[in-house]
Amino acid sequence: MTKLRSCIRVLCALGLLSSIPGVAYADPGDAYSLNQTLVQPANSAIKDALRAEKAARAEKAAAAQSDGAQQTAQARPVGEREAPAYNPGLAKGWSYTLDASSAWALGNTGYKRNDMPGGLDAVAAYGFTKYLRAYAGYFQLQEYPLGFDTGKVPVYLQGLGPPIAFQDLHAEQTDVTTKDKFFVALVQNLVILGKNLPLPLPVIISPGYVSRTASVGGSGDVQMVEINGFPQTVHLRTNQAKLIAFTLPLISSPKIFLSYTAAPQWNVNTNGANQTNHPQILQIGYIEYRLNDRTTLFFQPSKAPSYLPPDPYPQHLATILYGVAHNFTKNTFVQGTISTGTPTNLSVLGIKSVTCQQLPCAPSQVAPSLGGLKATQVQLIFGIGSPTTLPL
């Protein structure tokens, strides 16, 4: 079992690292949502199982020592207590998190402001049995992508080849502050691999549903964009997806916890420019370092599919989330995070060009052509309940 765990750790690390080059749109909103709604709940469940394993081992060792001290030539008397078997479980009953956040955009966005609207997160979970727990969460994340308020782009007239002018994006000062809103529902199932072996491996299997909506510039996300040479009106950042996630621990010690999550994911329905809907593989690595019993540093690289209505085919995100969480008391906490993503195969960020559908070129007749999405933001969160990033 030790060799099996070592092989799993190496294969998972190689799989995640080898998947990072060659990805497309980078969207830190997905990384934050996945951290809060998928990775952290599974990690907490695994920690519960590992703590139960440790307690069971300690009790078993104590029982064995007691048996050794009282050992006689006789067989064990009928009714004498046996050493406990390994049988960990998830936490039963209710748990919750409620927090509010502030955020600021990092990098040269070109816009006149870097502060963004506040956010709200709310989570509720209920453990039915030691092997089954339901989880629902609502999350908000603020972003300001690069390339929408800097540089000059060509202006085309629909049906005419060469550009008719160039547009200074900085002069327009278009507010593209994005507030992503995620609703996630999961059912966590605890499975113990090698339960009767010296080193059992707890695995969390989480079928789930993710619904994403957004506001852009303080209003909805409906926008006419240029797709394959034709205008199309779509929801820029609205979709629904389903997945089945598998999370397993790679390292668990008093100071360090490392886990790996993999999940096939696909859209519930196709919209806009979507042309296919084959399952895509989501991969997330997570590591935390506990400075003490109240403060934890964490780091999460991910390679995640993103299939929004402007995308003809699923895009893949290389994103990093890192930060620190601190408990003031058992039920109050503060958390600071920085989420960042960079496209690796698209050199143009934000707006590549704009196309006027007819002259005169009124704002309602303009369809931008979009390139890669790159954004970096810092978020400060204050909350109550059981924070999803701390091993309480």
Higher-confidence position of 172 and 87 = 172
Question: 252 Cβ partners below 8 Å, 6+ apart?
Answer: 46, 47, 50, 258
Q: What is the model's pLDDT at position 261? A: 92
Q: Which of 35, 6, 7 is nearest to 302 (CA)?
A: 35
Q: Which helix (H) or strand (E) holds 55?
A: helix 40-69
Beta bridge partners of 303: 283, 318
Q: Which of 137, 323, 146 is nearest to 212 (CA)?
A: 137
- Cβ(333)–Cβ(134) below 8 Å: no
Higher-confidence position of 83 and 69 = 69
Q: What is the spatial distance between Cα 248 and Cα 46, in angstroms, rounded to a whole number?
A: 7
Residue 364 DSSP code: G
* Percentage of the residues of the chain whose pLDDT score is greater than 90: 35
Residue 336 predicted with pLDDT over 60:
yes
Planar angle of CA 214, 218, 222, nearest 5 degrees: 50
Residue carrying structure tokens 């104590």: 62
User: How confident is the model over 316-321, as a mean pLDDT?
Assistant: 83
> Which two structure tokens, joined as six digits, stand for 319?
């994103």
Q: What is the model's pLDDT at position 364? A: 81
CATH class for the region spanning 2-63+85-145+170-345+374-384: mainly beta
Beta bridge partners of 96: 124
Planar angle of CA 387, 389, 391, nearest 5 degrees: 85
Q: What is the model's pLDDT at position 272? A: 87
Residue 388 predicted with pLDDT over 50:
no
Residue 149 predicted with pLDDT over 90:
yes
User: How confident is the model over 111-121, as a mean pLDDT?
Assistant: 89
* Average pLDDT of every residue of the chain: 79
pLDDT in tens, 273-317: 888 898 988 889 999 999 998 999 999 998 877 888 988 888 777
Query: For residue 16, which phi and psi values (nearest 5 degrees)?
Result: -70, -45
Q: What is the spatial distance between Cα 183 and Cα 338, in angstroms, rounded to a whole number?
A: 21
Count of Cβ atoms closer than 10 Å to residue 78 Cβ: 5
* Percentage of the residues of the chain whose pLDDT score is greater than 70: 77
State whether residue 135 is helix, strand or coil: strand
Higher-confidence position of 62 and 100 = 100
Query: How many residues belong to the chain?
Result: 392
pTM given for the model: 0.78
Q: Which amino acid is at 368?
A: P
Q: Which amino acid is at 362?
A: A
State whether residue 259 is helix, strand or coil: strand
Residue 235 predicted with pLDDT over 50:
yes
Q: What is the spatial distance between Cα 209 and Cα 195, in angstroms, rounded to a whole number?
A: 30
Top-confidence range, 32-41, 68-77, 196-205: 196-205
State whether residue 286 is helix, strand or coil: strand
Q: Which of 228, 242, 283, 236 is nearest to 261 (CA)?
A: 283
Q: What is the model's pLDDT at position 8? A: 33
The pLDDT confidence band at residue 96, using thresholds 50, 70 and 90, is: confident
Q: What is the largest CA-CA distance in the chain?
A: 102
Higher-confidence position of 64 and 73 = 64
What residue ranges do the domains of the chain occupy?
A: 2-63+85-145+170-345+374-384
Report strand pairing: 230-235 vs 375-385. Answer: unpaired
The pLDDT confidence band at residue 155, using thresholds 50, 70 and 90, is: very high
Q: What is the spatial distance between Cα 391 and Cα 40, in angstroms, rounded to a whole number?
A: 10
Q: What is the model's pLDDT at position 243? A: 92
pLDDT in tens, 174-219: 899 999 999 989 999 988 887 777 677 889 999 999 999 999 988 8
Question: 329 Cβ partners below 8 Å, 6+ apart?
Answer: none
